[in-house]
A and B are shown apart, each in its own frame.
Chain A
């Protein structure tokens, strides 16, 4: 039996209320991050440890994905370019595609999945087992120690991984181009970088900073506010990934538009 209109109105009102409450809480959480990030102490050792967890431990997955993307994208693009006798454009096409869009997005999505879920689950589990409260009662600021360090790590590691992803993607692409067109490395690089501008590099790196910040802050927010025991931990990990991916795509559209305006 369908719900009565009045009941439906209540459900919609609750949904809207919960949405805006979530946005408000999220904004406050982000505000606290900005405030705490510039206040000492900075827990450098923990930031470095987190950079290792986020950056170094993601390298195998980024390597595999970036390398395969480079090869596959080159293989898929070849027939279209070959129809116009323009296979010599492959290096520049791949380089532009990787740098402008593929590498930032691939890196962000992998980090949202791997790092986001890991942070969401870790903080969620700490929350439901009172480890965060244990820090508080020991006069340690858990927000600063857990949230700020992890978010700084993702903010700096995602751009680094993006650059690395570009490198391995181009390596994959070069191997394919070299195998098919016998292009030398020097010629591949020359052709690839000829179409790249400073704006491409700057926009991709800045975009990755934004993605890294988004992934870190969302994962920490979801984990830090986990409730309802172990079920809540799973929900926090899942929500971290889904929300981070959603926001990354929205940011991608907005940033592409901004860069387009700057270019024209």
Chain B
């Protein structure tokens, strides 16, 4: 399917999702344009991760539409959904590396399972490229248990990139990392956007990450997108829910910086 380059690659409309009595998403709307990084900010448990899990078809919404690369995700049959998933990368909060495989095998696995007739040399080159991109070419034969938190995140992102996705979904990419490693991950997210021209949704509650990586920021509060715009636009408000979020990230309001 050929896509109009001006059309959003992700279109979320009226998305609702509840777990039992607890309504997590209440009519979420969001568009993501090609090669755009959109950061979804929100408190822990606000439904940010649920949102991207719905986008990739891991969860089903109660209502609403999610159109990804022109496909309504929840109307797709398994084969079509898998074809779509090959075009969308997902970087997990805890990296979700396969701990029975070394770094090389972790990267080769999705490639070999999804690409038939790939020559050994090509597999090697693509693994090497992905590792170079995240600056961990030397870690090829290490096991996930031997890697630091930041390295695991990088390998997780490399595994996401191995299938050369058009969209990358990052779930809390800087959670649990020190400020220096977080800054490196933020830089990596920007590099991925520039090199692969991929669109991204970055789920985070880290304002530094939001400011560094986001072309636009969407504030998810009480199950709805309260504010969408540039970082400064989103926080230029007296709404105590937004201001409070800012305050407790230990930063000064934008106008004071």
- Cβ of A136: which chain B residues have Cβ within 8 Å of it? 58, 85
**A138→B92 contact, CB < 8 A:** no
In the complex, identify which listed stretch (B1-9, B63-71, B94-102, B241-249) lies at the interface while the others stay far away: B94-102
**A129→B94 contact, CB < 8 A:** yes
**B96→A131 contact, CB < 8 A:** yes
Interface assignment of B113: CB less than 8 Å from any CB of chain A = yes
**A140→B113 contact, CB < 8 A:** yes
Count A-B pairs with CB separation below 8 Å.
52
- Cβ of B99: which chain A residues have Cβ within 8 Å of it? 125, 129, 131
What mask results when residues 110 to 142 of chain B are scored 1 for a CB within 8 Å of chain A, else 0? 100110000000000000000000000000000
Task: Jot down 11 A-B pairs with beta carbons below 8 A, ordered by A.
Answer: A129-B99, A130-B92, A130-B94, A130-B96, A131-B99, A133-B92, A137-B56, A137-B88, A137-B90, A139-B114, A140-B110
Interface assignment of A254: CB less than 8 Å from any CB of chain B = no
**A137→B85 contact, CB < 8 A:** yes
What mask results when residues 66 to 107 of chain B are scored 1 for a CB within 8 Å of chain A, else 0? 000000000000000011011010101110111110000000
- Cβ of A130: which chain B residues have Cβ within 8 Å of it? 92-94, 96
Question: A47 vs B132: C-alpha distance in the bound complex, in angstroms?
Answer: 33
Q: Which among A131, A137, A141 has the greatest number of chain B C-beta atoms within 10 A?
A: A137
Interface assignment of A134: CB less than 8 Å from any CB of chain B = yes
A interface: dominant SS: helix
Partner of B58, one of A126, A133, A139: A133
**A138→B96 contact, CB < 8 A:** no
Question: A140 vs B86: C-alpha distance in the bound complex, in angstroms?
Answer: 10
- Cβ of A137: which chain B residues have Cβ within 8 Å of it? 56, 58, 85, 88, 90
Interface assignment of B219: CB less than 8 Å from any CB of chain A = no
* A109-167, CB < 8 A from B: 122, 125-126, 129-131, 133-134, 136-141, 145
- Cβ of B109: which chain A residues have Cβ within 8 Å of it? 138, 140
- Cβ of B82: which chain A residues have Cβ within 8 Å of it? 139, 141
B contacts with A, residue count (CB < 8 A): 23
**B85→A139 contact, CB < 8 A:** yes
Question: A131 vs B90: C-alpha distance in the bound complex, in angstroms?
Answer: 12
Question: A126 vs B86: C-alpha distance in the bound complex, in angstroms?
Answer: 21
Q: Which among B96, B100, B110 has the greatest number of chain A C-beta atoms within 10 A?
A: B96
**A139→B83 contact, CB < 8 A:** yes
- Cβ of B98: which chain A residues have Cβ within 8 Å of it? 126, 131, 134
Give the distance to chain B from A144, nearest Cβ to Cβ, in Å.
Answer: 10
Interface assignment of B163: CB less than 8 Å from any CB of chain A = yes
**B96→A134 contact, CB < 8 A:** yes
- Cβ of A138: which chain B residues have Cβ within 8 Å of it? 85-86, 109-110, 113-114, 159, 163
Partner of B92, one of A126, A134, A141: A134
Q: Which among A122, A136, A139, A145 has the greatest number of chain B C-beta atoms within 10 A?
A: A139
Given contacts A134-B92, A138-B163, 5 further A-B contacts (CB under 8 A): A136-B58, A138-B159, A139-B83, A139-B110, A145-B113
- Cβ of B97: which chain A residues have Cβ within 8 Å of it? 131, 134
Closest A-B pairs by Cβ, 9 of them: A139-B82, A138-B110, A134-B96, A137-B90, A130-B96, A139-B85, A140-B113, A139-B86, A130-B92
Question: A191 vs B163: C-alpha distance in the bound complex, in angstroms?
Answer: 64
- Cβ of B56: which chain A residues have Cβ within 8 Å of it? 137
Nearest CB to that of A130 among chain B residues?
Answer: B96
Nearest CB to that of B88 among chain A residues?
Answer: A137
Question: A14 vs B214: C-alpha distance in the bound complex, in angstroms?
Answer: 48
What mask results when residues 22 to 56 of chain B are scored 1 for a CB within 8 Å of chain A, else 0? 00000000000000000000000000000001001
Question: A52 vs B220: C-alpha distance in the bound complex, in angstroms?
Answer: 49
What mask results when residues 144 to 163 of chain B are scored 1 for a CB within 8 Å of chain A, else 0? 00000000000000010001
Nearest CB to that of A43 among chain B residues?
Answer: B113
- Cβ of B113: which chain A residues have Cβ within 8 Å of it? 138-140, 145
- Cβ of B58: which chain A residues have Cβ within 8 Å of it? 133, 136-137
Question: A205 vs B206: C-alpha distance in the bound complex, in angstroms?
Answer: 60
Give the distance to chain B from A146, nearest Cβ to Cβ, in Å.
Answer: 11
Partner of B96, one of A129, A139, A145: A129
Nearest CB to that of B113 among chain A residues?
Answer: A140
